[in-house]
Structure 1
């Protein structure tokens, strides 16, 4: 993953638990304290940081990933990619429908980017099924936080549930997103 991910994780931990906690996490993960945003790091570095954060902060990795997903949607995305995000859509549903296009645009900045893929199916006036495909395992809680964060970002609270695997026999995850305010699809 690119250093931008790890650096955002550092910011999130420092804001919530302080710089000493981050120092302990980096030491336990046997990584540097900071990361170059445009440098590609092996995925094992990110996974090591999550594992170390779970130990240092005495919190389940799933909870940390969910919180980080929310932070990514509400802070990192708007700060780092505000123009691209704004061009992607003006509400939760339109942003979700255009995430793959946004990732394609970002590949000019990040040539080694291996983004997930998102397909969106409307399920009613206030619901969406989000089909998520990724070569990376273990990021379901991050996606839940990401989806919830998008709801908060656009003023449309999102209740998110997860099906373990799609029922059509393909290997991907399905998230049910119920939008609970104006802005539903």
Structure 2
């Protein structure tokens, strides 16, 4: 997992709880340091340990925490990848172009990273099918990011996001509809 994502998880915990909660979470996860370098790639198991421990500490299921974290990530991701976003894009256009624009840039610019593969099919003017593929099995994070994009583009009240397969699978199908 890329250090920038773990640092955003740290900020998510600090914003929703506090810094001492982050330190306790790291300790209970069995990790040796609470600091993660932004440009370093860490073993996925460290992220899984943090999310699993956070679920245990809060009583909130891991999938729900991943969704909330995904929503939280969007403003920072949009800031970092702003140069790849075309004027006039909305939520659906952003989702359609994420694989080539953002994930392509990540794979090209940050060696060792493995963002999920997104296969997006436009079903109609107002509907997409997103097939998420990743050995990390974090489809709930993708659902949260899609919801966060709808909020970012001021379309949260118009966009419906529904995983039609289990969110913890290696392949997850997500339906996105604009009302």
Matches within 5 A, 1:128-147: 128-137=128-137, 139-147=138-146
1:60–1:172 Cα change, 3 Å: closer
Q: Tell me the residue number matched to 1:153.
A: 152
Q: Tell me the residue number matched to 1:3.
A: 3
Is the CA contact 1:88–1:98 (under 8 Å) kept in the aligned structure 2? no
Is the CA contact 1:161–1:176 (under 8 Å) kept in the aligned structure 2? yes
Question: Residue 155 of structure 1 aligns to a residue in which SS?
Answer: coil
Q: After the TM superposition, which parts of structure 1 deviate over 4 Å for at least 4 consecutive aligned residues?
A: none
Question: Residue 147 of structure 1 aligns to a residue in which SS?
Answer: helix
The alignment's C-alpha RMSD in Å is: 1.8
Which sections of structure 2, spanning at least 5 residues, go unmatched? none
Alignment coverage as a number of residue pairs? 172
Q: Tell me the residue number matched to 1:179.
A: 178
Matches within 5 A, 1:65-84: 65-73=66-74, 75-84=75-84
Residue 124 of structure 1, CA deviation: 2.8
Residue 87 of structure 1, CA deviation: 4.2
Matches within 5 A, 1:114-125: 114-125=114-125
Q: Tell me the residue number matched to 2:65.
A: 64
Which sections of structure 1, spanning at least 5 residues, go unmatched? 166-170, 181-185
Is the CA contact 1:163–1:175 (under 8 Å) kept in the aligned structure 2? yes
Q: Normalising to structure 1: TM-score of the pair?
A: 0.85
Query: For residues 122 and 88 of structure 1, what CA distance do their matches in structure 2 show?
Result: 20
Residue 57 of structure 1, CA deviation: 2.2
Q: Tell me the residue number matched to 1:168.
A: none
